Amino acid sequence: MEEIHLRLSPSLKDSVTDYARSHGMDLSTAIRDLLRRQVRYWRWTKKRESSGPSEDTLRHYGRQGLERDSNATKTQLFHFIARRAGRYVDSATIDRIANELTNNEHPEADD
């Protein structure tokens, strides 16, 4: 195991000390535990970002939105798709899909 030295601000040291006391750990064990939890959370968020819904799934959500409200505007459709897609999704992709679906459904709007 490798040894690492850390400098903590007084307020951060107090927070880690409180964490250690409340969990019955010494200071170094508490720091390792917090670091391990943070790395695990970071990996989880990276995995979630890379495993967002596919473009086909987003299109399906858009078609579902149009089935619910055939007169939905691009903005309404965008919000419907975004709510269904969850947190980790590219808003530019949703915007493009909403634009395509509303233009296909409402061609007279371009006149």
Measured at the CA of 44, the angle between CA 38 and CA 48, to 5 degrees, comes to: 145
Cα–Cα distance between 107 and 105 in angstroms, integer? 6
What is the full per-residue pLDDT of the chain (111 aa) written as tens digits?
888 898 999 999 999 999 999 999 999 999 999 999 999 999 987 776 666 788 899 999 999 999 999 899 999 999 999 999 887 777 888 999 999 998 875 544 444
Cα–Cα distance between 39 and 106 in angstroms, integer? 47
Domain ranges of the chain: 10-50, 55-110
Going by C-alpha positions, the residue among 74, 78, 109 that lies closest to residue 91 is 78
Tell me the pTM: 0.50
